[in-house]
Amino acid sequence: MREVWKSVLAFLKNTIPEEVFVPWFGKVEFTEDSEPDIINISVPSVPHSKFIKAQYEKDIEEKASEICGREIKLKITVKDPNKGAMISEPFPGPANTLPEEEKAPKSIDEIATKCGLHSGLTFDTFVIGNANRVARSSAMLVAEFPGERCNPLFIYGGVGLGKTHLMHAVGRKILEDNPNTNLLCISANRFINEVVSLSAGGRYSDEKIQKFDNKYRNLDALLIDDVQFLCKRGGTQQRLFNIFEALLPKNKQIILTCDTYARQLSDFDERLISRFGAGLSVSIEPAEFELRAAILLQKAKQQGVKLPLEVAYLIATRLNTNIRELEGALNSVIMRAEVFKKPITEELAKEALQGITGTGRISIENIQQSTAEHFSIKIADMHSKRRVANVAYARQIAMYLAKELTQKSLIEIGYAFGGRDHATVLYAVKKITKERAQNQELNHTLHLIEQDLKNWN
């Protein structure tokens, strides 16, 4: 079984970013077990065990079972059950000058709210799928070791895919482990307003600047949402750069979310872009069908509503854009059921979703054009019989995106690509889906094309 574990470990190493693989699996040790169908591994701490169990147990068991040709189960042993408990020494922060009556212990919810975190945005409520698995693993790593690894953490992806949720989940976990952490979560727009207020009345106030600098340079963790809104804001970017220079050398954690890859940002200080990419950049991709359905079931459960599986599948099929629109469609279905005092059924859901579609005006022609431009080939190549490697690969990617972003059938997609049969399209979809789960570069390519397609809406 030791050789099986080595093969599984090699598989994980090829599918997980090194920055995530090393800290989580570098200290894992294999232990022989008396049971022949058990892979027994030992880990340093309880949090370590919980993380591997939640994130990778299924992958490990499936790969081991595939290698052995029979069902294999994972067993995790913790070397030191007390390791990873809440650290008694708080992060160094500004002196506590509150009156004695205000020093009473506060709940984590109160602390989190004061730091700018939203209630409910935790790791427990974050639904995991292939589209966000790597990003969540990276976020968990940062939450366990703030300031030590992946600093800054740069999370990017389209609108409504869960970037903000993941960032708030990291902040929440950091505070749960260390309630005295001096943490601030803020939107880019609010940060801009704070910088603008420094020169209220047409001139800068030394007192305001000093207060601003003290606030940000004494933080243990800074979380900024939607940094793309800082474009063309030279003065604000300079302030942020100064904060980076103050926090990073002291190993203070910085987390940023953005709607695109750092190098794709326009009208940004090159030094700041360099800082964005100095740590770990991870993307959250558009949710696949299974993840969309799981999210709907989770959202319904949070509202105390029992959502039939077939209704979740119906909504997930109808909308394939982002989580916010999924939630809006779900709310429409729930509201219709409440208004007409009817149970939630497929028929009721279809009535509630009339006119709602998640594909906007994106067409196969849009996808073909954007993909062709990205790979510097002719649109005609999408319909041709040419099998040159780069052309065939671009064509397969366009087919995959057509299946993901439109409501067209495999037959219709094949017809739009020069009359190819549905089997050819299915092969392309399966191939790109598999590669996307393992290839970060392909993930990034797909993300850029999807971002470009937004311009068609």
DSSP 322-341: -HHHHHHHHHHHHHHHHHTT
| Gyration radius from the chain CA atoms | 24
pLDDT of residue 88: 31
Q: Name the pTM for this structure.
A: 0.61
Distant-in-sequence, close-in-space partners of 303: CB < 8 Å, separation ≥ 6 = 334
**Which residue positions form the known binding site for ATP?**
160, 162-164
The torsion region of residue 139 among left (phi > 0), alpha (psi -120 to 50) and beta comes to: alpha
Alpha-carbon distances of 152 from 117, 138, 208, 251, 455, rounded to whole Å:
18, 11, 27, 10, 29
3-state class of 316 per DSSP? helix
pLDDT of residue 87: 34
pLDDT of residue 97: 45
pLDDT of residue 393: 94
pLDDT of residue 399: 93
pLDDT of residue 191: 92
Which segments of 56-108 are extended strands (E)?
73-78
Helices assigned H by DSSP within 17-162 = 18-25, 46-68, 108-114, 133-144
pLDDT of residue 264: 77
pLDDT of residue 17: 64
**Which residue positions form the known binding site?**
160, 162-164
Taken in order of first residue, the domains within the chain and their CATH numbers are: 2-78 (3.30.300.180), 107-284 (3.40.50.300), 289-352 (1.10.8.60), 364-456 (1.10.1750.10)
Per-residue pLDDT of the chain in tens (457 residues, 90 and over written 9): 888 888 888 888 776 766 667 777 888 888 888 888 888 898 888 777 877 887 788 888 888 888 888 888 888 888 765 544 333 333 334 444 444 444 545 788 889 989 999 888 999 888 888 778 888 888 998 998 898 878 999 998 877 788 999 999 999 999 999 999 999 999 998 999 888 888 766 666 778 888 999 999 999 999 999 998 898 888 899 999 999 999 999 999 999 999 888 887 878 889 999 988 888 888 887 777 888 888 899 899 988 999 999 999 888 887 766 788 888 889 999 998 998 899 999 999 988 887 665 545 578 888 998 899 899 998 888 988 878 888 999 999 999 998 888 767 788 898 889 888 888 998 999 899 888 877 878 888 888 888 777 654 4
Q: 446, 401 in Cβ contact below 8 A?
A: yes
Distant-in-sequence, close-in-space partners of 364: CB < 8 Å, separation ≥ 6 = 402, 406, 408, 413, 416
Q: 141, 269 in Cβ contact below 8 A?
A: no
Say how many C-beta atoms besides its own lie within 10 A of residue 366's C-beta: 20
Alpha-carbon distances of 185 from 157, 164, 170, 202, 279, rounded to whole Å:
19, 10, 11, 28, 19
